[in-house]
Amino acid sequence: MNQVYSPYIPLLFLLSLLLIGACAQQSTPMGGPKDETPPQLIRIKPENETRNVKPEVIELEFDEFVKLDNALKQIIITPRVKKDEMEITANRNRVLIKLNQELEDSTTYLFNFQKSIQDISEGNPAENLKLVFSTGPDIDSLTAEGNVRFIFPRNKMEDVLVGLYEVGDTTNVLTAPPYYVANADTSGNFRMTNLRPGKYMAYAWHDDNNSIKAEDKTEAYGFILDTIQIKENVKDLQFYISKADLSDFKITRAASSGSNFDIVLSKTPVKIELENEDIGKTLFYRLNEKTLRFYHTALQEDSTSMRLQFKDSVGFHIDTVLFAKFESSERRKEKLEVKTNSGKSFLKAFTAEINFNKPIAEIRLDSLLIQYDSASVIPVQKEWISFLDSAKRTDIRIDLSIIDTVSTTRNFKLSAADSTFLDVEGLFFEGKVEVNFKRSNPETLAERLGITYVTEKEGPFRYELLKKEEVIRHITTKEKTVAFTQVDPDTYQVRVIVDANENNRWDPSNFYEGRQAEEVFYAINPEAEKNKRDVILKAGWENNITITETPPLGWRPKAKEEAPKSVIEPILTPEQMDLKIQEWLENKVENPVDKQ
């Protein structure tokens, strides 16, 4: 039989292969209405609430093709398993989870799939998809619930987890995933289910990197010091979370740098104490984040000993003595730079703040003036000038009260010509420095913002008035009622910090020392349209607000009611009473009536 060759046969064959491939490929259907229906679970193996099983593979079947979205991180499994050993795959309408590990005996496991399984067309996640099974004869059913809040509130509550670690576990929230874990919702509420009775330590944290543990350098976290004993359902667990860097606090480098001497720390210090006979005279320093640079105006080609004491935000200390060597150097000196608080308003007095990157050796007053109107000037007097720290000499304050003769003037400018400021290395600031101030009209100000803090605590308390998260004004006192007066009309936030250690700042927690972060409470305005912490002040207004405390940190288990003990002694006959008195006298027993 003769074979007939046609040039169309290979083309038809190729088209057939392409069509078969297109039919086999999972893809988003073209056209038609948008699919908004999430995939529905048809079958799961093992079945939900199965007992006495130790599955090696978990199978899920849906009514449509599905895909996975970051499944290893999204699926929450309690108690914890080795997720890095698991294999999770999606094929058409099925999902397979190979555990690749032995499960614990007599343990209830909960798989919370969250939004990890989605339809392939529009990415709609399967809703409320959970699997519970037990490797033993019983399924644990205890629950624990509560709330998590950021100490310093955020606009969104997301990626916040709560974890339980068994007492005796050598790991914690900073080192490994918890035994039980649950998500907090957008309101901070959480609920853990299928817990077995036991004693646990409880933590909450913002899991920004999805590691299922807290990173103390970058993530907010919190803890409850008390052991949580779960033998019945637990309610009202309250967490407050904030950042607290618990990494080692140490000197990472100490060496000469040109003609100066640098000390580099592992963290920025919040407190510095230096001991050297030349400090504030010929020896000065500046702090730039984690680096201290020392300048010596007299010592060259020699060294001097310094005792250094540093403290970081969580209370870790460095206390050491080292020798700083100052050498002559041809290295080009760092240029003098300046920052100011220009643009502030004032009522009767203003404070100009000038911040330098290096210590200042000399200020030439003849070119430092207060200008107002078109040509009027007030020479700055020496007594108006002060350094915040005489050992640093990098931060200058110039305080001035405006006298009645210039009461009509609104705009003022602190002006410093070039070569007004000379640093300790002999360099002048080359440009002009101008700090502008505007005097407020009293009629345009809010007259008074009264604050009452409802508490039984003794204080001291730091009351802060904030605008766009910047502290505008503050008052530190033991009083529970204070007031900010003559405030520019605007939208503010008001908070109070319970300054437990009386250092006039907020201090974070220290997990290793069992110390909680200092409490912070905000004024709440129920009438605010967007942010309920907004306090609106208008011209001529007098506003009074109250700050109340939010639920206390930790767990307050409900005390069991005990039957009242009888306080009435049985009635004695006269004969029995005589015998009782005789017994007291003979045995020298203390009269219980007298004791009371």
Question: Can you read off the two tokens belonging to residue 207?
Answer: 């899991």
E strand segments, 258-367: 260-265, 271-275, 283-288, 291-296, 302-311, 317-326, 338-340, 344-346, 349-356, 360-363
CATH of the domain at 235: 2.60.40.10
Both 362 and 429 in one domain: the answer is: yes
Entry pTM: 0.82
Query: Which CATH number characterizes residue 315's domain?
Result: 2.60.40.1220
- Cα separation, 359 vs 378, in Å, equals 26
The domain in which residue 514 lies consists of 443-548
Contacts of 26 (CB under 8 A, 6+ apart): 65, 67, 92, 120
Q: What is the pLDDT of residues 203-221, one digit of tens each?
A: 999 999 988 999 999 999 9
Q: What is the pLDDT of residues 107-155, one digit of tens each?
A: 999 999 999 999 999 999 999 999 999 999 999 999 999 999 999 999 8
**Is there a single domain that holds both residue 125 and residue 50?**
yes
Helix (H) or strand (E) holding 16: helix 8-24
Of 214, 241, 268, which one is at a domain's C-terminal end? 241
- Mean pLDDT (the chain) is 88
**Judgement on whether residues 514 and 463 belong to the same structural domain of the protein:** yes
Do residues 432 and 352 share a domain?
A: yes
3-state secondary structure of 13: helix
Nearest to 158 by CA among 114, 224, 193, 216: 114
CB 413, CB 509: distance < 8 Å: no
Residue 23 inside a domain? The answer is no
Task: Round to whole Å and give the CA distance between 326 and 294.
Answer: 9
Domain boundary among the residues 114, 134, 154 is at: 134
Task: Tell me if 306 is assigned to some domain.
Answer: yes
**424 and 449 housed in the same domain:** no
Each residue's pLDDT tens digit, 181-195: 999 999 999 999 999
pLDDT beyond 70 at 314: yes
Q: Of 417, 439, 461, which one is at a domain's C-terminal end?
A: 439
Q: What is the sign of the dihedral through the CA atoms of 317, 323, 326 and 327?
A: negative
Q: Are residues 218 and 177 located together in one domain of the fold?
A: yes
Is residue 271 a part of any domain in this protein?
A: yes
Domain CATH number, residue 81: 2.60.40.3710
Mean pLDDT for 241-250 is 97
Structural domain includes residue 484: yes
Question: Domain total for the chain?
Answer: 5
**Pairwise CA distance, residues 535 & 507, whole Å:** 25
Reported as a single tens digit per residue, the pLDDT across 51-85 is 999 999 999 999 999 999 999 988 999 999 999 99
* CB 174 within 8 Å of CB 214: yes
